[in-house]
């Protein structure tokens, strides 16, 4: 075995000015030295809590300095980090915890009782971490030493599992290795020209790849700083932007900033880079943003299973409506459903190969086999074409996955819950363009009787699925369009309701 921890040593363990601020927020500034002391205390906490090499640490907690340090501590101590969306209900968490066989679960105190009822395996260690950084995790870590011997890990060893939604069936745990994460970080450093002088305005959640791996790994790798805010807020963004020179966001961030009169050329003149991803950015948003700031947003394309794949260039044309060029080291082809590359300009499925591409789905060998070609290319399911300049233009998905505010929703999960309701005959859940969220969840419902109303639907869903999965609009219809095989034609529904939020 290697004597080093591949990801930790490269991204977090290298020499940085220990007095320099790594995390900055409303509570003050945390230097690199203080951050690493906290990481070591948390690593010792995991060790005394029984963590063994390769064990999963599942975390559902609000964004905080302690939480990001817990991620680093998990990597340093040889564990596998499993971040979970804070909107997930106890009902949803039960699946993730059981499927991953997590040995340590970190949860907000307010959810502790429900989790204890959910977890039947009494050997699982439950720790608490609250939004204000109190809880049993911090109480225990305060008693630990501020030094920790790094646990060796190899490039191919598992670093994290992120659950990703499909359009049917169970959520899948994408297994990301130390090399998957480090290789992508190295590429993005050069492609986006990040260095130790960068200060990133970080308002993303840290339970998915964008906020956690793309942002945090990258800034730690170059020795930069992050203004680490709990969530996006337009007023907070306007205030803190004065101290930043880079920003990563989802389209919702940019549409909301454009509604603020104070967001103008003067406020942004010192900013060198705005990046958008996780959902399509409307061309009109690109145009309005450039008009307002004299700067062009870089739009890129990534996935849970692959991290970042393409990006509009730092130096060179940034073309609205495209996600740019394949990143160095990423092989990208547009193929038909048999894996044969289509002619340039034709629409097909994006397939990817490279060090950034994950090794497979947790405990799902058949699903993994289905997702890769024999030559190692990963079948993304995203439909796209390549224009005359070599830029990738995503045109949709071969399945019906919804991405709302950068978060994935698969329709079948919502449909199954709606169909449980008495006097609901059937339902179809679709994505509809939304000016703020990119896409909105919309449900079309056929009733057996008119006694079922919108409130009944909302009440039934309120405690069963996360709020972002719940329909933003409920429409009652006499029937659903079907083809000759009886399959619901969601493409017709999307076309019919495409202007639902434009009025």
- Which CATH number goes with the domain that contains 440? 3.30.300.30
pTM recorded for the entire structure: 0.85
Q: Based on the domain organization, do 147 and 39 belong to the same domain?
A: yes
**Any idea what the CATH number is for the domain that residue 277 is in?**
3.40.50.980
Distance CA 340, CA 333 (A): 9
Together in a domain, 225 and 137: no
Asked if 85 and 129 count as a contact pair (C-beta separation under 8 A), the reply is no
Residues 217 and 147 in one domain: no
- Read off the pLDDT of each residue in 30-36 and give the average, rounded to a whole number: 97
> CA–CA distance from 172 to each of 35, 226, 368, 410 (Å)?
32, 31, 10, 12
Q: What is the pLDDT of residues 163-194, one digit of tens each?
A: 986 444 578 999 999 999 999 999 999 999 99
Q: What are phi and psi of 385, to 5 degrees?
A: -140, 165
More confident of the two residues 16 and 136: 136
Helix 32-48 and helix 65-76, axial crossing angle in degrees, nearest 10: 60
β-pair type (172-177, 273-276): unpaired
- Is 142 inside any structural domain? yes
Question: Does residue 488 belong to any structural domain of this protein?
Answer: yes
Stretch among 7-21, 97-111, 471-485 having the lowest mean pLDDT: 471-485
pLDDT at 486 over 70: no
Whole-number pLDDT of residue 85: 92
Residue 64 lies in a domain: yes
Dihedral sign from CA coordinates of 302, 305, 309, 314: positive
Q: Quick check: 289 pLDDT over 80?
A: yes
pLDDT in tens, 375-429: 999 999 988 999 999 999 987 666 677 889 988 887 878 988 998 898 898 899 9
More confident residue, 155 or 413: 155
pLDDT by residue (tens digit) across 304-355?
999 999 999 999 999 988 999 999 999 999 999 899 999 989 989 999 999 9
Show the domain range for 75: 12-20+29-153
The answer on 232 and 128 residing in a single domain is: no
DSSP state of 216: I
| Residue 489 resides in a domain | yes
Planar angle of CA 29, 34, 37, nearest 5 degrees: 155
Looking at the fold, whether 148 and 64 belong to one and the same domain comes out as: yes
Examine residue 35 and state whether it is found in any structural domain, yes or no. yes
Assigned domain for 394 exists: no
Point out the domain boundary residue: 244, 269, 296. Answer: 296
Is 147 in the same domain as 222? Answer: no
Angle among Cα 237, 239, 243 to the nearest 5 degrees reads 95
Is the pLDDT score of 1 beyond 50? no
What pLDDT, in 10s, does the model give residues 436-455?
999 999 999 999 877 899 99
Residue 479's nearest CA partner among 468, 469, 488 is 488
Beta bridge partners of 475: 444
Shared-domain flag, residues 134 and 16 = yes
CA angle 69, 71, 76 (to 5 degrees): 90
Residues 36 and 148 in one domain: yes
**What does each C-alpha distance from 214 to 247, 275, 301 come to in angstroms?**
12, 11, 12
Q: For residues 13 and 6, what is the distance between their CA atoms, to the nearest angstrom?
A: 10
C-alpha distance across the termini of the chain, in Å: 61
Q: 436-469: string of b/e by CB count within 10 Å (b at 16+)? A: ebbbbbbbbbebeeeebeeebbeebbeeebeebb
Which residue, 296, 317, 332, sits at the end of a domain?
Answer: 296
The number of folded domains in the chain is 3
Question: Mean pLDDT of all residues in the chain?
Answer: 93
Task: Decide which of 235, 261, 296 is a domain's last residue.
Answer: 296
Cα 128 from Cα 112, distance rounded (Å): 7
> Which strands form 424-434's sheet, in the order they lie side by side?
424-434, 438-447, 473-477
For the chain, give me the number of helices (H) and strands (E)?
Answer: 17, 25
* Over residues 247-265, mean pLDDT: 94
The arithmetic mean of pLDDT across residues 198-211, rounded, is 95
The tokens for 357 are 């591409």
On whether both 221 and 135 belong to a single domain, the answer is no
Q: Which of 173, 78, 71, 79 is nearest to 129 (CA)?
A: 71
Q: Are 47 and 141 in the same domain?
A: yes
Q: Are 8 and 76 in contact (CB under 8 A)?
A: yes
CA dist 383 and 472 (Å) reads 25
Comparing CA positions, the residue from 330, 358, 308 lying closest to residue 172 is 358
Mean pLDDT for 69-74 is: 98
Strand residues in 436-492 grouped as ranges (E):
438-447, 473-477
Q: Tokens 């019906």: give the residue.
A: 400
103 and 196 assigned to the same domain? no
| % of the chain exceeding 70 in pLDDT | 96
Residue 358 lies in a domain: no
Please indicate, yes or no, whether residues 145 and 221 belong to a single structural domain of this protein. no
From the centroid of its chain, how far is CA 269? Answer: 29
Residue 352: inside a domain: no
């Amino acid at each position: 075995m290697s004597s080093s921890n591949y990801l930790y040593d490269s991204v977090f363990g290298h020499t940085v000015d220990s007095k320099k601020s790594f995390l900055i927020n409303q509570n003050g500034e945390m230097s690199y030295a203080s951050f690493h002391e906290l990481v070591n205390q948390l690593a010792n906490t995991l060790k005394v809590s029984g963590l063994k090499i390769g064990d999963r640490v599942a975390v559902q907690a609000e964004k905080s300095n302690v939480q990001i340090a817990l991620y680093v501590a998990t990597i340093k101590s040889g564990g596998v980090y499993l971040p979970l969306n804070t909107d997930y209900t106890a009902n949803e968490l039960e699946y993730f915890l059981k499927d991953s066989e997590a040995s340590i679960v970190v949860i907000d105190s307010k959810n502790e009782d429900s989790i204890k009822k959910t977890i039947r395996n009494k050997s699982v260690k439950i720790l608490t971490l609250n939004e204000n950084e109190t809880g049993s995790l911090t109480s225990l870590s305060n008693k630990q030493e501020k030094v920790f011997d790094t646990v060796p890990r190899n490039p191919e060893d598992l670093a994290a599992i992120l659950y990703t939604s499909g359009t049917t069936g169970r959520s899948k745990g994408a297994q990301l290795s130390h090399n998957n994460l480090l290789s992508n970080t190295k590429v993005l450093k050069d492609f986006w020209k990040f260095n130790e002088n960068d200060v990133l305005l970080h308002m993303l959640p840290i339970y998915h790849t964008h906020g956690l791996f793309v942002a945090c790994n990258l800034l730690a790798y170059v020795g930069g700083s992050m203004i680490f805010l709990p969530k996006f807020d337009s007023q907070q963004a306007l205030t803190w932007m004065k101290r930043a020179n880079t920003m990563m966001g989802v389209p919702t961030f940019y549409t909301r900033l454009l509604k603020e009169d104070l967001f103008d050329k003067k406020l942004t003149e010192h900013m060198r880079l705005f990046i958008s991803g996780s959902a399509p950015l409307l061309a009109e948003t690109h145009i309005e943003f450039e008009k307002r700031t004299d700067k062009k947003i870089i739009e890129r394309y990534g996935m849970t299973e692959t991290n970042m794949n393409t990006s509009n260039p730092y130096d060179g044309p940034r073309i609205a409506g495209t996600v740019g060029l394949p990143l160095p080291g990423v092989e990208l082809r547009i193929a038909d459903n048999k894996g044969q590359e289509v002619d340039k300009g034709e629409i097909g499925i994006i397939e990817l190969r490279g060090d950034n591409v994950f090794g497979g789905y947790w405990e799902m060998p058949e699903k993994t086999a289905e997702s890769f070609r024999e030559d190692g290319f990963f079948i993304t399911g995203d439909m796209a074409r390549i224009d005359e300049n070599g830029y990738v233009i995503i045109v949709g998905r071969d399945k019906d996955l919804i991405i709302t505010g950068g978060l994935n929703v698969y329709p079948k999960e919502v449909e199954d819950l709606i169909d449980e309701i008495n006097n609901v005959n059937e339902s179809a859940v679709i994505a509809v363009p939304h000016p703020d969220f990119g896409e909105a969840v919309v449900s079309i419902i056929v009733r057996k009787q008119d006694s079922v109303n919108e409130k009944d639907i909302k009440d039934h869903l309120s405690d069963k699925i996360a709020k972002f999965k719940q329909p933003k609009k409920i429409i009652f219809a006499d029937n659903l369009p079907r083809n000759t095989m009886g399959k619901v034609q969601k493409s017709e529904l999307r076309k019919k309701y495409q202007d639902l939020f434009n009025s």
